Structure 1
Amino acid sequence: MNDTLASQGPPVNYSLDVFPEAPATLEAARAHAYSQPLAEIDVANPKLFHADTVHPYFERLRREDPVHFIESPTFGGYWSITRYNDIMAVDMNHQQFSSDAALGGITINTLARGALPMFIAMDPPRHDVQRRAVQPIVAPANLRNLEPLIRSRAAAILDELPVGVEFDWVDKVSVELTAMTLATLMDFPQEQRRRLTRWSDVATAVPGAGVIDRAEQWVEEMSECFSTFQTLWYERAAGPPGNDLISMLAHGAETRNMPPHEFQGNVVLLIVGGNDTTRNSISGSVLALNQNPEQYQKLREHPELIPSMVSETIRWQTPLAHMRRTAVEDVEFAGKRIRKGDKVVMWYLSGNRDDTVIERPNEYIIDRARPRQHISFGYGIHRCVGNRLAELQLQIIWEEILKRFPVIEVVGEPERVYSTFVRGYRSLPVRIPQRRAA
């Protein structure tokens, strides 16, 4: 198995030094975005995401060139699809726009020799049968069974938080709750749950950007991950079918004989999909409410808005900034000719700020008339299989927060990750002034 992984290599193998520095403020970014030649706009600069100043570049592309091509020195030529309805059209058209790992997979930064296969990086019918194998874990009945467990854990986490001192919300709350949930879904030892968090971070890391130092480290750490899960696979396959993701794959009629590199890919998908996205939305909710104090006050006065706030947070945060497809034939699309083999990137982050579809999209409004009108979970056959579980965790944590704390204060700038794919946080300094009276 490790030989397979070593020949595959990490999904990213470049230096941040090749990218220009990002403007430090939105005002500077807007001036730069509208002053440089349109043809030179490259939104796949991880420094723009780290600085959170990418939005003006997307704004200009949506207005002037919503299907935009650039030849990137790092990622090669790629098309940026930036409008909401165009993104939906690509996402639904798997006949012409493929997710197949053999063609490059689902992220912009996959190396030319291909990506690890996983069911999200497959087309029908392979995609459908593998997705079906794990879907029972997030069926409504199973979510009802999980809800009291998630709530008890959320309550315990919040009850242990310090009052009156600064701490890192990402580490103490967002990572902790989602790691517990993911460990339960995988029947992974709870005492080792932070290994899942580490592997999730490594899986999408840019070497030299604070998680791993070199590409070889990716192979070393992910080899440990896959060896661990291969052992679990053999154990689960030898036992009776269980209600966990590994057992479901090991016993599924269409998945029990999958080759090791395919299992590796699905492990990455389940770890990142079950961990990164939800934890970054939990952190993003605290940040968004602090940046919009009138919305925070509205939430305190009307806790019945929590479900709407959760959906608005997922739109505003857009925890996965993009998904990539590969054209399998020449396509006339929105007035442009996309050639067979071209890389096509659907920028969900941009689509969620499209003012031709979403009213006042740059504002965080927790009582929108249509709060679920977003594409953070994707669209069509690849819509996130765990979207309801993600919403459930956010809803529960905020129901428990409002019972305990009048306010959670962000007391410093968040540290964001260097990634064009996962839009996330490494840390978020907060302080809780006081608890509610019993």
Structure 2
Amino acid sequence: MSDGNIDLSKDARAQAYATPLDQLNPAQPALFQSDQMWWNFERLRKEDPVHYTAQSDYGPFWSITKYNDIMTVDTNHGAFSSEGGITIATQDGDQGPLPMFIAMDPPKHDVQRKTVSPVVSPANLQVLEPLIRERAAMILDSLPIGEEFDWVDKVSMELTAMTLATLFDMPQEDRRKLTYWSDVVTAVPGQGLIDTIEQKMAIFVEYHAYFTNLWNQRVNAPPAGDLISMLAHGEATRNMEPREYFGNIVLLTVGGNDTTRNTISGSILALNRNPDQYRKLRENPGLIPSMVSETIRWQTPLAHMRRIATQDFDIGGKTIKKGDKVVMWYVSGNRDEEAIERPNDYIIDRERPRNHISFGFGIHRCVGNRLAELQLKIIWEEILKRFPEVVLLEEPKRVYSTFVKGYESMKVIIPSRN
């Protein structure tokens, strides 16, 4: 098995298959950081697709690893609640997890989601498209030719931060605060970005204050088309508690930032690992939309979502008990041989490239999925106009997380312009 033709360590595979099944724990951030988690999921899909881990750093939990089982859980919000957090490692200080609409059940979830969804409506995407294209062109035209640079920093972070700052209608000069705050939200203390949970909370205070200021500006101004104004004037959201407002800001920051940014980076990795596919794309730019969907599947920028069972539920020959933590591993579902043909291969002209699980399903399906696809489509249209190739120089540095499947840095060189 390979992740886009990388030979993964035989040791990791041997260890995954040698571990007694009842002790197998797929939620190990170090394995994700070293890109060695695939073997655990391969084994679980084959031998124990609904798997119970009794002991882990996050307590006991069930792993759902096959595509159709994930669909069953994700589309059954009655039996599997989102209340209380969406990640296996929800930890937000003493007050419990921040409330946000992705971590709510109907009816509250539905009315809050509906309040912000106009920002990603087809009509608004048409308005955003020329702006995103102009910025993509500016970013790419500023890149050095023949010199090594970090693609994550110069391209992926820049485009997504610019777009998100526009959705919030905040000053563009503050856009990198969004990148930083998004990283802090999902960062594990002691793994580089922050050292302690107290430091994380102190950064949250600044982050909260910034967006409280934006709320105060918008609530005293006429309603407008940005996310803050929508929340400040929305019938279902204008009286929300400050923590709940902040929770939704956190959700929109991470959702609008991490996912698209890591898929833009992932596309460079995937195409470099599969030069035949890169050649196919250069020869036929009409494949860009299909390549975008295939990259979203292959990358799976958010590796999992968690739920809590609200009742006993039978699935895959097992009974999940009421109150149990259930983790849907999208990263595994997207490599399920029974649902997707040749799932470990990166094939940009697949027959049904949108047949992936990266955006989730059911009521919590990613609200910004079309905006994510649009940004990826535009950046690749602009890349192909300018550069014969973007060359990856070494293995990228990956994020230490079981939730965000992403990249800290990615060294590349662009040998020449078209």
Same fold (TM over 0.5): yes
Q: Secondary structure at the match of 2:11?
A: helix
Alignment correspondent of 1:268? 250
Q: Secondary structure at the match of 1:323?
A: strand
Q: Write out the 4+ residue segments of structure 1 that deviate beyond 4 Å after TM superposition.
A: none
Matched, 1:255 2:233: no
Verify the 8 A CA contact 2:267 2:295 in the aligned structure 1: yes
Alignment correspondent of 1:417? 399
CA distance in 1, matches of 2:395, 2:115: 41
Query: How many residues are matched?
Result: 410
CA distance in 2, matches of 1:420, 1:118: 20
Alignment correspondent of 2:3? none
Q: Secondary structure at the match of 2:60?
A: strand
CA distance in 2, matches of 1:113, 1:254: 23
Alignment correspondent of 2:88? 108
What is the TM-score when the length of structure 2 is the normalising length? 0.97
What residue identity is the alignment partner of 1:35? A
CA distance in 2, matches of 1:42, 1:342: 16
Alignment correspondent of 2:375? 393
Alignment of 1:313-392 (within 5 A): 313-392=295-374
What residue identity is the alignment partner of 1:73? S
- How far residue 113 of structure 1 moved from its aligned partner, in angstroms, is 6.6
Verify the 8 A CA contact 1:26 1:56 in the aligned structure 2: no
- How far residue 30 of structure 1 moved from its aligned partner, in angstroms, is 1.4
Alignment of 1:235-250 (within 5 A): 235-250=217-232
Alignment correspondent of 2:131? 149
CA distance in 1, matches of 2:95, 2:274: 45
What residue identity is the alignment partner of 2:87? T
What residue identity is the alignment partner of 1:375? I
Q: Secondary structure at the match of 1:376?
A: coil
What residue identity is the alignment partner of 2:261? R
Aligned-residue RMSD, C-alpha: 1.0
Verify the 8 A CA contact 1:62 1:82 in the aligned structure 2: yes
- How far residue 222 of structure 1 moved from its aligned partner, in angstroms, is 1.0
CA distance in 2, matches of 1:296, 1:168: 20
Verify the 8 A CA contact 1:306 1:395 in the aligned structure 2: yes
Structure 1, residues 83-102: CA drift from partner, whole Å, max 9, x if none?
A: 0000000000010100012x
- How far residue 28 of structure 1 moved from its aligned partner, in angstroms, is 2.0
Structure 1, residues 121-153: CA drift from partner, whole Å, max 9, x if none?
A: 000000000000000000000000000000000
Q: 2:283 aligns with which of 301, 311, 320?
A: 301
Matched, 1:407 2:354: no
Q: Secondary structure at the match of 1:325?
A: strand
Structure 1, residues 7-39: CA drift from partner, whole Å, max 9, x if none?
A: xxxxxxxxxxxxxxxxx9432221111111111
What is the TM-score when the length of structure 1 is the normalising length? 0.92
Structure 2 unaligned spans of 5+: 1-6
CA distance in 1, matches of 2:55, 2:251: 26
Structure 1, residues 265-296: CA drift from partner, whole Å, max 9, x if none?
A: 10110000000100000000000000001000
Alignment correspondent of 1:292? 274
What residue identity is the alignment partner of 1:77? P
Q: Secondary structure at the match of 2:232?
A: helix
Alignment correspondent of 1:19? none
What residue identity is the alignment partner of 1:253? E
